[in-house]
Structure 1
Amino acid sequence: MEDKIIYEVLRVINGIPIFLEAHLQRMKNSFKLINEEFPLSYEEISTKIQNVIKDENKYNGNIKITYGINEKKLKVFFIEHFYPTDEMYKNGVDTILYFGERENPNAKIVNDSFREKVNKEIKDNNAYEAILIDNNGNVTEGSKSNIFMIKNNILMTSPTKAVLPGVTRGEIIELAQRLGIQVQEVEYKYTDIDKLDGMFISGTSPKVLPIKTVNSIKLDPANKIIRCLMEEYDREIMNYIEESKK
């Protein structure tokens, strides 16, 4: 029987695992969604992460946490990462539509088959990310990120039930609400993407990354709400790092 592997990927900046508590809460939720007990403690995982950082003398990068349900073994290790360039943050990135959805969108479970199919489409189209479209024609999420849309100064994202509730996604929603930006969870048809004022990707590696194109549809990467959230999210990370040092 193939082992079911629950995982999280988090970003380490200056030796600090960013938003670790939120990542572990999501990992705990992934266990709950498949009716499994969460057998790990915050202290156990945090200590293992710090040991990996010190042992490898690596203070910036992405760390993956995995736990095999059958194997009952925790693994923590650095993985290859790709962070967007300054040019990508300035001018936005190209994306494609991919018609498919995850089997269990709320749980972060390894699915190599789905990942391989999407990655091939991304590579074949020379795109940065694929935006997943469900069976009803609604925008859900990116293949390895969450997706936000802006229309009439309203920040929109897919309903939580239809996507992986990303840690960065949650931080952005809280930030927007604090800034007085109206946030709505909506089912949005992919056929109406051309009516949007802007779109962006959110995630551990990209943070807040503007979208320049979706297939042949051009969007505005300089949208003022996107730019505001980019700055505020970076500030939130810096605040987290400073608090973690105390």
Structure 2
Amino acid sequence: MSIGYINGKYIPLNERAIPLEERGYQFGDGIYEVIRVYNGKPFMLNEHLERLIKSGNGIKLKIQQSIEEFRSLVNEAIAKSGLADCCVYLQITRGISARNHLFPDVPISISMTVKPVVPLQKSIREKGAAAIIHEDERWANCYIKSLNLLPNVLARQTAFEKGCFEAILVRGAMVTEGTSSNVFIVKQGKVYTTPLSRNILAGITRMAVKKSCKEVSVEIIEQAFSKEELFQADEVFITNTTSEIVPIVKVDGQIIGNGLPGEYTLKLYHKLQQFVADLKE
């Protein structure tokens, strides 16, 4: 069953548990992670938790708990839910205090939900998805997985209203990432993705794709590319925790490659599934 957790207490998801003067609610003053669980086992949990701590450091959040304590908490919540294939949403905020811009001297708040995973539509996996190009209007520290997602939400909604799956963000002419994904292109048998910087999130599935490329002897190059280079790519795909690898076959109405999920996209997806299968054993 789906369950919730806040500051040491497990609660039903419909229980009202967030006080009005919660910093995450009033300021978006917090960070989060989304962790995919296969057959009761969280995928790349250490990497998620290391990124969580890095995000906390990025906003000067005083996290006293260790990675081991968070690991135990996540695994406990998965076990209590009884869900085999699910997603864990883990959030930390600066706590509960009278509204003031300055940091309060109060304990942080830790909350979590465990819910069944919503699988990607089979038709998208088989036929690919469409995307739009959208100006990247987010703040300068996108490497921090913060709660401040309104620009992402607006761009994703624009994509949805145009019948598309994702919005691919650009700063000037250069691609950064998607609203909730990292972006890859394939050209002449080589895979390219935007290098890590303050402008993008170090995606966990991005890490898995880099490992997959090594395993199947495909060269991957971390190099900035423009939207024009994206339009001219042989293949385009995006990655995130919940959807894994998604082929993008049309951007702003323009067909990418032959308009079908490409050879390298599929090869890397199948390799990722092998990693998942190994996790289940």
What TM-score, normalized to structure 1? Answer: 0.91
- Within 5 Å, which residues of 2 pair with 1:84-99? 84-99=120-135
Cα offset, 1:112, TM superposition: 3.8
2-side partners of 1:8 and 1:202: how far apart?
15
**Cα deviations across residues 133-192 of structure 1 (Å, max 9, x unaligned)?**
11x211111101111110111100011103100000011112212322111112211123
Unpaired runs of at least 5, structure 1: none
**Cα deviations across residues 84-135 of structure 1 (Å, max 9, x unaligned)?**
122211111111111114311111001142233123202211211111111x
Contact 1:150/1:197, CA 8 A, preserved across alignment? yes
Cα offset, 1:46, TM superposition: 2.3
2-side partners of 1:56 and 1:80: how far apart?
9
* Structure 2 match to 1:43: 68
* Structure 2 match to 1:175: 212
2-side partners of 1:174 and 1:57: how far apart?
30
2-side partners of 1:116 and 1:88: how far apart?
21
Cα offset, 1:73, TM superposition: 1.5
Structure 2 residue matching 1:111: 3-state secondary structure: coil
* Structure 2 match to 1:57: 82
How many residues are treated as equivalent by the alignment? 241
**Cα deviations across residues 195-216 of structure 1 (Å, max 9, x unaligned)?**
1000001111111111111111
- Within 5 Å, which residues of 2 pair with 1:8-157? 8-71=33-96, 72-79=108-115, 81-103=117-139, 104-134=141-171, 136-157=172-193
2:240 to 203, 223, 245: 203
Unpaired runs of at least 5, structure 2: 1-22, 97-107
Name which of structure 1's ranges 110-119 and 225-234 shifts more when overlaid on structure 2.
110-119
Higher helix share: 1
1-side partners of 2:122 and 2:90: how far apart?
28
Contact 1:19/1:240, CA 8 A, preserved across alignment? no
2-side partners of 1:3 and 1:9: how far apart?
17
RMSD of aligned C-alpha atoms? Answer: 1.8
2-side partners of 1:87 and 1:96: how far apart?
19
Cα 1:64–1:37 change in 2 (3 A) is: same
Instruction: Give aligned-pair identity as a percent.
Output: 22
2-side partners of 1:175 and 1:140: how far apart?
21
Higher Rg of the two aligned structures: 2
Structure 1 residue matching 2:57: 3-state secondary structure: helix
Q: Does 2:272 correspond to 1:233?
A: yes
What TM-score, normalized to structure 2? Answer: 0.80
Name which of structure 1's ranges 39-48 and 104-113 shifts more when overlaid on structure 2.
39-48
* Dislocated runs of 4+, deviation >4 Å: none
1-side partners of 2:117 and 2:153: how far apart?
17
